[in-house]
Amino acid sequence: MNIRVPMTEMTGKEGERRMSKIGMEQMLVSMGHQASGAVTLWNYPSWMRNLIPHDIKGEEVPDPVDMAALEIYRDRERGVARYNEFRRNLLMIPISKWEDLTDDCEVIEALSEVYGEDVEKLDLLVGLQAEKKIKGFAISETAFFIFLLMASRRLEADRFFTTNFNPKTYTEKGLEWVNKTETLKDVIDRHFPDMTAKWMRCSSAFSVWSAPPDKTNYIPLYLRPAT
């Protein structure tokens, strides 16, 4: 028996109660059997386009929010550089026409309709999702530049990777976990060994889990409704 749970029912106080009732194992199984959404145009979750927010007390706020539009609005309000200027700041070559960004005719038509022929107006988030992906990667060249900078900076600046990387901070057992843990699958397997043995036969936790759901022990919950 499969139970479909809309994401809109997983927010606020009631969402917390429902998540507690469902339990971590069932949520992991559910998400593991669903492919992650591609970072591309026209793939924003529909339920987040009409999200009912909650205040600090967990009560519903009357006006719904379009998160996709809000992300663009926030970038503009905060003065985040547009796509071309952002690339210039990274010493990357800016685009001079939409065809430099993508080969997708539908995307080019949509960008021309929204921005005209002025490529300098292209919002950063839109450009990152429209940009051609690096072969074999889920993200584009511009996003990959940022990923490299953030990853290296994290290693250099985080004291838990440098001065505090010792048994006194982590304990002997904790340091052993850090040194011997190689993948996310190892982390999940440490906490839910029976679940990974039954459901996760793939080599990576980021892949779609290969063991098919059945009617024993677990009831998969489809937390991402189809759009």
Express each pLDDT in 4-36 by its tens digit.
788 878 877 788 888 888 888 888 888 888 877
Looking at residue 219, what is its pLDDT? 44
| Residues 37-96: tens digit of each pLDDT | 888 999 988 888 988 888 887 788 888 999 999 999 999 999 999 999 999 999 999 999
Is the model's pLDDT at 103 over the cut of 50?
yes
Q: What is the dihedral of CA 58, 60, 64, 65, to 10 degrees?
A: -10
User: What is the 8-class DSSP label of residue 140?
Assistant: B
* Phi, psi (rounded to 5 degrees) for 96: -115, -15
Q: Per-residue confidence at 214, pLDDT binned at 50, 70, 90?
A: low
Quickly tell me which residue has 């505090």 as its tokens.
164
pTM: 0.79
Distance CA 137, CA 144 (A): 9
Distance CA 20, CA 100 (A): 48
Is the model's pLDDT at 150 over the cut of 70?
yes
